[in-house]
Amino acid sequence: MSIFDAGSARVELDTRKFEAGVRQMMKGIERGIGPAAEETAQTVANRLTALVPVDTGALRDSVSAGPIKGGAAVHYGGDLSYAGIIAARTGCTEEALEGSDEMFHEAQHDLAAREVRQL
Q: Model confidence over 80-95: pLDDT tens digits? A: 999 999 999 999 999 9
What is the SS3 assignment for 67?
strand
pLDDT for 45: 98
**Residue 3 forms part of a structural domain:** no
In a domain, residue 10? The reply is: no
In a domain, 119, yes or no: no
Whether 6 maps to a domain, the answer reads: no
Domain of residue 73 covers: 16-114
Rounded to the nearest angstrom, the gap between the alpha carbon of residue 2 and the centroid of all alpha carbons in its chain is 54
Measured distance CA(41)–CA(101) in Å, rounded: 10
CA distance linking residue 119 with residue 115, whole number of Å? 7
Is residue 1 assigned to a domain? no
User: How big is the CA angle at 62 (ends 43 and 103), to the nearest 5 degrees?
Assistant: 15
Q: Where do runs of H (alpha helix) occur along the chain?
A: 16-51, 58-61, 83-90, 92-97, 100-117
Domain count, the chain: 1
Is pLDDT of 9 > 90? no
